[in-house]
């Protein structure tokens, strides 16, 4: 079901990005809290159609970077372009239109506890479209099925779901508007190994079937190996991007420890 035709706002112009070109372009980004600088002159490109894994040590600002890109916090310096749009120069109407092109899954789903799963999924649909209640119910069922949940999950409340089911329900809401970009914040945190592997497989299949670009903050080496095309490592307030093989060539202690330590060897089956 194409939602764009039903939107009540004007979308930013020229939102098509050629295959393999950056859909997100960050230049000179600076984030700080008081005197603590988290990112300093950080540059990053996220390419159309890729799954980019974002890793880094504690306090490196992985989630801060995600929240800055999606507009939940304002950077101190630098520019962020999404789908060719400079997010700092957009009007409120244009910014709202741009946000319809991405979905976000926060840790543990971040669902509204007083709403059913179907009602949670319908929150962005109500905000951005004029679909009838019947069509919204139908769309919620489609998204629930798409994320591997039983159909009867629609009438349940978040408190009635397991942790893994809440993440899938949050993912269904993130996909409600058929976005081109999906942001995931620690999607497998708290899941057992089987649940985490199943979630990785789900993200991989959705990327293929929907043509998604995925920006995934994670600490899970298995996820990086299973579904990520490239990995962005936050170190020294900046970012280094490459495949695992390319990153292993870099002589940086954190990178070497992360990708050659005991947990990494176990993930690689060594």
pLDDT at 158 over 70: yes
- Residue 14, pLDDT > 50, answer no
Q: Quote the pLDDT of residue 228.
A: 95
Q: Which sign does the torsion angle of CA 165, 167, 173, 174 carry? A: negative
Q: Which domains does the chain have, with CATH numbers?
A: 26-101+179-270 (3.40.50.300), 109-178 (no CATH)
Is the confidence at residue 5, as pLDDT, over 80? no
pLDDT at 9 over 70: no
Average pLDDT estimate for 181-198: 93
- Calpha distance 252→112 (Å, rounded): 42
Residue 70: closest CA among 117, 103, 44, 39: 103
Identify the band that residue 261 occupies on the pLDDT scale cut at 50, 70 and 90: confident
Tell me the per-residue pLDDT of 15-32, one tens digit each, with 9 for 90 and over. 444 456 899 999 999 999
What pLDDT was estimated at residue 2?
44
- Residue 166 pLDDT more than 50? yes
| Mean pLDDT value across residues 46-52 | 96
Residue 37 has pLDDT above 70, yes or no: yes
Report the predicted TM-score, pTM, of the whole model to 2 decimal places: 0.89
Half-sphere exposure of 220 (CA within 13 A, CB side): 24
The CA distances from residue 12 to 58, 90, 155, 188, in Å, are 36, 9, 35, 33
To the nearest whole percent, how much of the chain has pLDDT over 90? 78
Contact 109, 175 (CB under 8 A): no
Strand, helix or coil for residue 151: helix
Using 50, 70 and 90 to split pLDDT, how confident is the model at 58? confident
């Amino acid at each position: 079901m194409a939602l764009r035709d039903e939107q009540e706002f004007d979308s930013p112009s020229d939102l098509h990005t050629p295959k393999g070109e950056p859909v997100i372009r960050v230049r000179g980004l600076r984030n700080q809290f008081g005197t603590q600088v988290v990112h300093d002159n950080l540059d990053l490109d996220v390419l159309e159609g890729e799954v980019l894994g974002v890793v880094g040590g504690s306090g490196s600002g992985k989630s801060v970077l995600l929240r800055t890109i999606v507009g939940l916090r304002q950077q101190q310096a630098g520019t962020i372009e999404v789908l060719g749009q400079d997010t700092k120069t957009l009007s409120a109407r244009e910014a709202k239109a741009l946000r319809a092109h991405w979905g976000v899954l926060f840790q543990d789903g971040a669902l509204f506890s007083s709403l059913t799963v179907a009602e949670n999924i319908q929150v962005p649909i109500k905000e951005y479209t004029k679909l009838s209640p019947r069509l919204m119910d139908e769309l919620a069922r489609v998204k629930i099925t798409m994320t591997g949940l039983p159909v009867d999950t629609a009438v349940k409340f978040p408190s009635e779901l397991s942790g893994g089911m809440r993440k899938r329900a949050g993912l269904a809401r993130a996909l409600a508007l058929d976005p081109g970009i999906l942001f995931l914040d620690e999607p497998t945190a708290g899941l057992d190994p089987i649940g985490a592997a199943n979630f990785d497989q789900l993200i991989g299949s959705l990327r293929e079937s929907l043509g998604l670009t995925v920006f995934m903050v994670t600490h899970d080496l298995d996820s990086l190996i299973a579904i990520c095309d490239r990995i962005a490592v936050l170190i020294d307030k900046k970012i280094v991007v490459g495949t695992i093989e390319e990153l292993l060539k870099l002589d940086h202690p954190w990178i070497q420890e992360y990708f050659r330590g005991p947990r990494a060897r176990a993930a690689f089956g060594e």
